[in-house]
Amino acid sequence: MIVMQYRYTLPASYDMAIIEQRIAQNGARLDGFPGLLFKAYLYARVDRGAPENRYAPLYLWRDADALRRFLHSPGFAALTRDFGWPVTETWLTLHAPTWAELATKRYARITIGEIPPHSDLPAMALSGMLCAWDVSRWRLLQVDFSDEPPVGPNAGDYRIGYLAGEQRR
């Protein structure tokens, strides 16, 4: 499985209701997309305590072919036309939550840390519900999903506007 995320940082004055409307109008379009285990439509708002306005969807793909089909899709073309060409990060999945574990979650906290050289990889502490690594840069992604806002400020805190996936048809 492959985790993928891109982030758009928007001006502090940007009307984030536009992003919320876009999620409400388009979120279900990826329901039933073959190979999409989930897409969490993540966003953060300055007016609700975030350090910056962000739209930062997080995907979990079954395999590279599913990810490729999405990147070739009209939906991704529309996104890049409207918001620009994103830097897209990918990680190889170490473990992931089930759809049932995610279905009711409304918040996500993303933490990305360095994996020091010569680390004991099998002994790494994996505390997130979703954990993955980028072995090209030796970074560890850990994501926790919750029903309530995470406690304490963190630049990786997001609201989940919608959760799409092949399970939703």
Residue 13's Cα: distance from chain center in Å?
23
Give the per-residue pLDDT at 38: 97
Q: What is the pLDDT of residue 155?
A: 77
User: Which residue range(s) make up the domain with 38?
Assistant: 2-165
- The residue ranking higher by pLDDT, 3 or 149, is 3
Local confidence band at 168 (pLDDT 50, 70, 90 cut-offs): confident
pLDDT at 169: 66
Residue with token string 């939550």: 97
Cα-based distances in Å from 110 to 9, 29, 53, 145: 16, 25, 15, 9
Categorize the per-residue pLDDT at 150 as very low, low, confident or very high, splitting at 50, 70 and 90.
Answer: confident
Q: How many domains does the chain fold into? A: 1
Q: Is the confidence at residue 123, as pLDDT, over 80? A: yes
pTM: 0.94
What are the tens digits of pLDDT across the range 77-105? 999 999 999 999 999 999 999 999 999 99
| pLDDT attached to residue 152 | 78
* CATH code for the domain of 47: 3.30.70.100
The rounded distance, in Å, linking the Cα atoms of 33 and 19 is 21
pLDDT for 34 equals: 95
